[in-house]
Structure 1
Amino acid sequence: MLAYLLFFFNASFVILNSAICSLVICVIAIFKILLPTTQLKAKGTEAANKVMWIWATVNAGILALSNRVEWDVQGIDNLKKDGWYLLISNHLSWTDIVVLCCVFKDR
């Protein structure tokens, strides 16, 4: 029974967090389209990226509050924060994307 409650808690709050952050990113995108200069559009991109970081941080907090999670991530020592990377998920569970974002949000 506890497992079902944890699933409901995690899923509900991750969905709520996703809905709120998605709405904010959509509003930023609308403003970004209307902005006249490239510099202002870059600021809009920075704001959207910050909201994405907040989304991942809140989701990590949700998972940490209700689960004993210990990440064992290997092979990420050479990742550069200013580099570009492609993350692929095979969707073994509903948490794949959430976990990837939690693990890689500060890398």
Structure 2
Amino acid sequence: MPSPDSEQQAIAVFAALTDPTRRALLDELARAGPATVTELARRLPISRQAVAKHLGQLAEAGLVSTDEPEGRRLPYRLEPAPIRAAQVWLAALANRWDTRLTALERALDADTE
């Protein structure tokens, strides 16, 4: 069973991915590589302020990061670890369901014999 920390990280990832604008930003970073807020605003049909807001939410979920020191604009880049953590959490959930479904199938088969 996944740890509570991995579950919390998975929840943060899923919450971040609910918004289509955030998914579009992730897609753009995956497609074209690291980019600044200004570059992303030029590529997508949203304002620079909206890009910054959504990147902040993605950063809180750990999905993007930047080495932005105070006063400098450096590119945001994807961080794969949170997605992997969410995949592990989903795999554990799927495994529990598979185990239960297999047990149900065996019980139903036993009843028909």
The bucket for the TM-score relative to the shorter chain is 0.3 to 0.5
Q: TM (normalized to structure 2)?
A: 0.32
Larger of the two Rg values belongs to structure: 2
Q: TM (normalized to structure 1)?
A: 0.34
